[in-house]
């Protein structure tokens, strides 16, 4: 992976198996322009197809993960324009189809579409300096990239209404307390390093099992419990056809393996 082709993002591989995408539009606090999102989709697809990559970390700067959709790009669009171009449909065209785990490492501002992008990741890590919000109501609009659905699924209706109807911010510490973030670190550096470490661990697991695990957890968001459990069992059975299952269960019978973190 190389950053050379990109103007709004950086791509890197900080450790074996880990793809790192850094949003890099500092002068606009990583506002998610169409150009930036096209590059992000491209980089995600490349890492997904790259056999050396096992998991992907998505981050921004210490100051901003992303300050939302690009307001300058958005301000003159009419109803006809947004429906004709199917505005921000590209935000959902690729990410839901990425099969490798995506960990968002969120520091600084994550507002509007920035918060929604973070919520699209499989795992969200943040630092205590992170500030999240869905401020669209202040612009006379509403979240347009899944925020009203994903945030509500996580924090519940009452808290989601409280946040989305006022546009107020919540901190990284609150995000962790409410289950929006899996972990909240003390500094931005620890947050990104923590995400890279976790991605590295996942990259060291059976690829076929990690893919299956991501798929079944995501199914829990769409299916009822009975169908979800059924789907899980079928997928579980399928893994018995993999070599990794044969090697993994054999190794699990040896003592040090079960002691390992
Ligand atoms: N779009 C375009 N440019 C943005 C931007 C955005 N969302 N957010 C910040 N910028 C730009 C600013 O215009 C400014 O550029 P100039 O220097 O050229 O004026 C630069 O980034 C730095 O911003 P500030 O000077 O405002 O920085 P700050 O530290 O004082 O404030 C902030 C930070 C509180 C995040 C503030 O920038 C802010 O409120 N930004 C807008 C946040 C927002 O409303 N986002 C929601 C957008 S709507 C949406 O996302 C729709 C959806 O659901 C998909």
pLDDT band, residue 253 (cuts 50/70/90): confident
Q: Where does ligand 1 bind, in terms of residues with CB under 6 Å? A: 28-29, 31, 67-72, 88, 109, 111-113, 116, 135-136, 139, 143-145
* 79-88 pLDDT per residue, tens: 999 999 999 9
Among residues 174, 186, 169, which one has the least CA distance to residue 107?
186
- Looking at residue 255, what is its pLDDT? 64
Task: Return left, alpha or beta for 165; rule: phi > 0 is left, psi -120 to 50 is alpha, else beta.
Answer: alpha
Dist. CA 29–CA 16, nearest whole Å: 29
pLDDT (tens digit, 9 = 90+) per residue, 139-168?
999 999 999 999 999 999 999 999 999 999
Residue 224, judged by CB atoms within 10 A of its CB (0-12, 13-18, 19+), counts as exposed
ipTM of the complex, rounded to two decimals: 0.98
Which of 27, 29, 106 for a ligand 1 pocket mutation test, highest count of atoms within 8 Å of Cβ?
29
Give the whole-angstrom CA distance, residue 242 versus residue 71. 48
- What are the percentages of helix, strand and coil residues in the chain, rounded to 5? 50, 15, 35
pLDDT in the model for residue 252? 86
């Amino acid at each position: 992976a190389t950053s050379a082709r990109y103007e709004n993002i950086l791509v890197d591989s900080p450790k074996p198996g880990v793809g790192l995408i850094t949003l890099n539009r500092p002068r606009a606090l990583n506002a998610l322009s169409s150009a930036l999102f096209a590059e992000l989709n491209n980089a995600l697809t490349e890492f997904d197809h790259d056999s050396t990559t096992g998991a992907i970390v998505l981050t921004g700067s210490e100051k901003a993960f992303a300050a939302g959709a690009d307001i300058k790009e958005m301000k003159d669009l009419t109803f006809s324009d947004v429906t004709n171009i199917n505005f921000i449909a590209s935000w959902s065209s690729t990410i839901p189809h990425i099969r490798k785990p995506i960990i968002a490492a969120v520091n600084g501002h994550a507002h509007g579409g920035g918060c929604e992008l973070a919520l699209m990741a499989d795992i969200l890590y943040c630092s205590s300096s992170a500030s999240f919000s869905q401020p669209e109501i202040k612009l006379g609009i509403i979240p347009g990239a899944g925020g009203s659905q994903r945030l509500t699924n996580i924090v519940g209706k009452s808290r989601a209404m409280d946040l989305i109807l006022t546009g107020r911010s919540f901190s990284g510490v609150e995000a962790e307390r409410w289950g929006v973030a899996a972990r909240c670190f003390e500094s931005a550096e620890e947050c990104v390093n923590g995400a890279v470490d976790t991605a590295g661990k996942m990259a060291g697991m059976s690829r076929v099992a990690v893919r299956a695990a991501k798929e079944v957890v995501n199914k829990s968001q769409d299916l009822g419990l009975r169908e979800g459990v059924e789907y899980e069992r079928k997928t579980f059975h399928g893994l018995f056809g993999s070599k990794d299952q044969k090697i993994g269960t054999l190794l699990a019978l040896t003592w040090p393996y079960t002691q390992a973190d």
